[in-house]
C-alpha cells in the first residue's frame, strides 16, 4: 500500500518479484484484496488523507496479519517528517512488525524483510515444548 511515497520503494518491491530474485520461492505473491493477504507492505509516510484508508485496509486483513514497512519515509517520515500533510511513520497509525530501511532499499533487503516475517510466523505457529510436556503415544491393534 502506497501511503504517500514517491514510488521508488514500489519499484524495488516489484524488482524483488522478478524471476532474477524469485521471491516466490518464499511463497510471496501479490493479491488484489487485503482479505486474502497475510502481509501488508507499506511504503511512504502516511498522509492525512491516507490514514483512514490504511486503518481500513489493516482491519480487513485476516489474522495472523503482519505489517512490513519499506523505506525511510514509511519508517520515520523521511524527508517529509514534520510536514503538515503527513503523520510521519506508519507505526503512528498501525502496528509494524518489520522495517526495511533505505531510500529506496534494494530488492534483496525487501526479500530479507519477508524472511524475517516468515521467521516470526514460525515462532508463532510452532509450539515450544519442554521435555516434561512431551508425551509418547503408542497404539496397539488387537
CA 88/CA 77 separation, integer angstroms: 4
pLDDT in tens, 6-27: 888 888 888 888 888 888 887 8
Mean pLDDT value across residues 101-109: 89
Predicted confidence at residue 59, as pLDDT, reads 93
CA 71/CA 92 separation, integer angstroms: 15
Among 37-41, 74-78, 90-94, 112-116, which stretch is predicted with the lowest mean pLDDT? Answer: 74-78
Predicted confidence at residue 136, as pLDDT, reads 44
Using a 10 angstrom Cβ sphere, with 0-12 exposed, 13-18 middle and 19 or more buried, the burial of residue 121 is middle
**Rounded mean pLDDT of the chain?**
83
Longest dimension (CA), the chain: 77
CB–CB of 6/45 below 8 Å?
A: no
Q: Could you give the domains of the chain?
A: 8-133 (3.40.50.12280)
CA 31/CA 107 separation, integer angstroms: 19
pLDDT class for 80, splitting at 50, 70, 90? confident
Residue 133 has pLDDT above 80, yes or no: no
CB–CB of 120/97 below 8 Å?
A: yes
**Nearest alpha carbon to residue 26 among 101, 99, 119:** 119
Residue 135 has pLDDT above 60, yes or no: no
Mean pLDDT value across residues 76-80: 83
Q: How does DSSP assign 32-89, residue by residue?
A: S-GGG-SEEEEES--BTTTHHHHHHHHHHSPSS-EEEEESHHHHH-GGGTT-TTB--S
Residue 67 has pLDDT above 90, yes or no: yes
The values of phi and psi at residue 86, to 5°, are -120, 160
Amino acid at each position: 500500500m502506497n501511503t504517500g511515497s514517491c514510488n521508488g520503494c514500489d519499484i524495488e518491491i516489484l524488482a524483488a518479484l522478478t524471476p532474477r530474485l524469485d521471491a516466490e520461492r518464499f511463497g510471496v505473491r501479490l493479491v488484489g484484496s487485503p482479505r486474502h493477504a497475510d502481509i501488508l507492505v507499506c511504503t511512504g509516510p502516511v498522509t492525512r488523507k491516507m490514514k483512514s484508508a490504511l486503518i481500513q485496509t489493516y482491519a480487513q486483513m485476516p489474522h495472523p496479519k503482519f505489517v512490513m514497512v519499506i523505506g525511510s519515509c514509511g519508517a520515520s517520515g523521511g524527508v517529509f517528517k514534520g510536514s503538515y500533510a503527513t503523520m510521519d511513520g506508519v507505526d503512528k497509525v498501525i502496528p509494524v512488525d518489520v522495517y526495511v530501511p533505505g531510500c529506496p532499499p534494494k530488492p534483496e533487503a525487501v526479500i530479507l524483510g519477508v524472511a524475517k516475517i516468515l521467521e516470526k510466523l514460525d515462532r508463532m505457529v510452532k509450539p515450544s515444548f519442554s521435555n516434561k510436556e512431551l508425551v509418547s503415544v503408542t497404539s496397539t491393534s488387537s
